Chains A and B, each alone.
Chain A
Amino acid sequence: MAMFVWIVLALLTGAAVFAVLLPLSRQAPAASAPGETATDAAFYRTQLAEIERDAERGLIDPADAETARVEAARRLLGAARRDKATEHAGGGASLRRRRVAALLALVGIPLLSLPLYLRLGQPDMPSMPLSARVDRARDPGQIDLQEAMARIEAHLAQKPDDGQGHEVIAPVYMNAGRYDDAARAWSNAIRILGETPRRLENYGEALVASNNGIVSADARQAFDSALKIDPATVKARFYRALASEQEGDAQAAIAAYRALASQAPAGSALAATLNARLASLGAPPADTADSPAGAIAAMPEGERMAAIRGMVENLSARLAQDGSDVEGWIRLVRSYAVLGEPDKARDALARGRAALSGDEAGRGRLDSLGRELNIGGS
């Protein structure tokens, strides 16, 4: 493959040099070009013919035609005289000149092009059209999440009405932190495949996530629709409760959280989250489905922290791969700060600034975040 590139470059160079050498090597190269006198004379002759034709058809009146004719004829003579005077003033073919020109082409073109290209280009880097990369990704051995995503996205661009596709990619977006895209994918799935409690609650959740945790009117509508179909839908119930909390109706929120907790398995992430919510509202932990509250009192906190840390590390890894996501960087810095790890926050801030070197506005936002959190930044 690498060899092939050099062959192509060599062929191109050859073609360029050849284009210049060919005319230089011909014996009588100027034979095809007419002399200047010939061109001029022909021009004025055509002009005379035109005047003749126009006059014949009465397009110009005879007096005008006559003066025009005289003038053209006079210029024809003038042109002929002028050309005679200059025609043989020096010049002509010269072998020496031809050799210099040929040398210029033969040596000059490659000597200019190759170093210049080697400075600018990357000959070992193959082309990477997306289709080829996605084909490579078909090999299950080396499938990676981003490639899978690209594949599904390409497929959906072709067939935007494939509901299954939207449904498959939506959770992937969610995991990648692309909440807007997740919400859109779920809404497409709902539009094409119809409403189910699962789709509706996930759609709502994506909306909440993209809205920085606020349960908007749209999201609430989605949860309500889900609950209408199946009143037991867990996520929908949770977010309805969260909505109540955000609206300031703490009593309703506490009651709803407790009701949910009574069905949640002890030690589960859900139970942990519910207890955290209850704690934040100043209410005691709830009894979960099958174990006393006290037994898990210590566990949920650790598990919750572990879950949060895992999420943050995922985000960090994702940003290390693709650092152009300003929102992501802001979330990461903030997360470390909230987790009480200012060193990591500072490090993330620095990495973010480096990754966003081309994005003034993004860096500005990171800087102001740094000042806000009091962890430095310039």
Chain B
Amino acid sequence: MTRKQRRLTVIGAALAVIGVAAGLVLFAMRDTIVFFYGPSEIAAKGVQPGTRLRIGGLVKEGTLQRGPDQTVRFEVTDTAKDVPVRYRGLLPDLFREGQGVVAEGVLEADGVFKADSVLAKHDEKYMPREVADALKKQGVWQHAPEKTGATPASAQK
């Protein structure tokens, strides 16, 4: 092979690999990207059942139900709209009612969101950014009010 041919071979191979990679990226972008929505956006955008997405918001107070075999149901809310969620598996340590949560899964035909992963905020002070934004949009960037009742003075002497 001449010098020129060799150079062309290398350039050709490089272009081929980069072309394949670009193709893969574009292909994957179409099929594997997951959008993030808050409950209001799901209602507003009319998301098709079967679409894979992430939803985020607060776990609505009083909606957590545990079923047999570690199935749980709860509702995710941004205070304007709620989305019922179904999940089977261990909930994260920080999962609590009234706290921020992000779930990834599929919206089913009956409007229930079937989650295959549930993430809660990572420490006491931290709220997932996506959740915070979704809540800000609804103008409820605050914690749920404290529920502790007055403590009987006698018990504390």
- Judged by CB atoms under 8 Å, the answer to whether A and B touch is yes
- Which residues of A come within 8 Å of B, CB atoms? 205, 208-209, 212-213, 215, 239, 242, 269, 273, 276-277, 308, 311, 330-331, 334, 338, 359-361, 364-365, 367-369, 371-372
User: Does B69 have its Cβ within 8 Å of any Cβ on chain A?
Assistant: no
Name the contact of A372 in the complex, choosing from B145, B151, B152 (C-beta under 8 A): B145
User: Does B148 have its Cβ within 8 Å of any Cβ on chain A?
Assistant: yes
A277 — nearest CB in chain B belongs to which residue? B154
Verify B154–A361 contact, CB threshold 8 A: no
Chain A residues in 8 Å Cβ range of B154: 213, 242, 273, 276-277
Q: Contacts A213-B155, A242-B154, A277-B154 given; indicate if A364 touches B143 (C-beta within 8 A).
A: yes
Verify B151–A212 contact, CB threshold 8 A: yes
- 6 nearest A-B residue pairs (beta carbon): A213-B155, A368-B145, A213-B151, A213-B152, A364-B143, A273-B154
Chain A residues in 8 Å Cβ range of B157: 205, 269, 273
- Complex CA gap A213/B148 in Å reads 11
Verify B143–A361 contact, CB threshold 8 A: yes
Verify A360–B155 contact, CB threshold 8 A: no
A273 — nearest CB in chain B belongs to which residue? B154
Contacts between the two chains (Cβ within 8 Å), count: 50
A359 — nearest CB in chain B belongs to which residue? B125
Verify B146–A361 contact, CB threshold 8 A: no
- Which residues of B come within 8 Å of A, CB atoms? 124-125, 142-143, 145-146, 148-157
Distance to closest chain A CB from B142 (angstroms): 6
Verify A334–B125 contact, CB threshold 8 A: no
Chain B residues in 8 Å Cβ range of A239: 155
- Complex CA gap A134/B146 in Å reads 38
Q: Contacts A208-B155, A213-B155 given; indicate if A330 touches B146 (C-beta within 8 A).
A: yes
Q: What would be 10 A-B contacts, judged by CB atoms less than 8 Å apart?
A: A205-B157, A213-B154, A242-B154, A273-B157, A276-B154, A311-B156, A331-B151, A334-B150, A361-B124, A368-B142
Distance to closest chain A CB from B19 (angstroms): 34
Chain A residues in 8 Å Cβ range of B152: 213, 242
- Interface SS, B side: loop
Chain B residues in 8 Å Cβ range of A368: 142-143, 145-146
- Complex CA gap A372/B155 in Å reads 23
Verify A212–B153 contact, CB threshold 8 A: no
Distance to closest chain B CB from A144 (angstroms): 23
B153 — nearest CB in chain A belongs to which residue? A308
Distance to closest chain B CB from A184 (angstroms): 18
B145 — nearest CB in chain A belongs to which residue? A368
Distance to closest chain B CB from A193 (angstroms): 23
- Complex CA gap A331/B145 in Å reads 15
Distance to closest chain A CB from B148 (angstroms): 6
- Complex CA gap A208/B157 in Å reads 11
Chain A residues in 8 Å Cβ range of B124: 361
- Complex CA gap A361/B145 in Å reads 11
Distance to closest chain B CB from A210 (angstroms): 10
Distance to closest chain B CB from A305 (angstroms): 10
- Complex CA gap A371/B151 in Å reads 19
A235 — nearest CB in chain B belongs to which residue? B157
A238 — nearest CB in chain B belongs to which residue? B154
Verify B143–A213 contact, CB threshold 8 A: no
With most chain B CB atoms within 10 A of its CB, the pick from A205, A277, A338, A361 is: A361
- Complex CA gap A277/B155 in Å reads 10
| Known interface pairs A209-B156, A212-B149; 19 further A-B residue pairs with C-beta atoms within 8 A, sorted by A's residue number | A208-B155, A213-B155, A239-B155, A276-B154, A277-B154, A308-B153, A330-B146, A330-B148, A338-B150, A360-B125, A361-B124, A361-B125, A364-B143, A365-B146, A368-B142, A368-B143, A369-B146, A371-B145, A372-B146
- Complex CA gap A298/B143 in Å reads 44
B126 — nearest CB in chain A belongs to which residue? A361
Distance to closest chain B CB from A194 (angstroms): 25
Verify A209–B155 contact, CB threshold 8 A: yes
A272 — nearest CB in chain B belongs to which residue? B154
- Complex CA gap A311/B151 in Å reads 14
- Complex CA gap A242/B156 in Å reads 12
Chain B residues in 8 Å Cβ range of A372: 145-146
B149 — nearest CB in chain A belongs to which residue? A212
Distance to closest chain B CB from A302 (angstroms): 15
Chain A residues in 8 Å Cβ range of B145: 368-369, 371-372
Verify A212–B142 contact, CB threshold 8 A: no
Verify A212–B146 contact, CB threshold 8 A: no
- Complex CA gap A215/B148 in Å reads 15
- Complex CA gap A365/B144 in Å reads 8
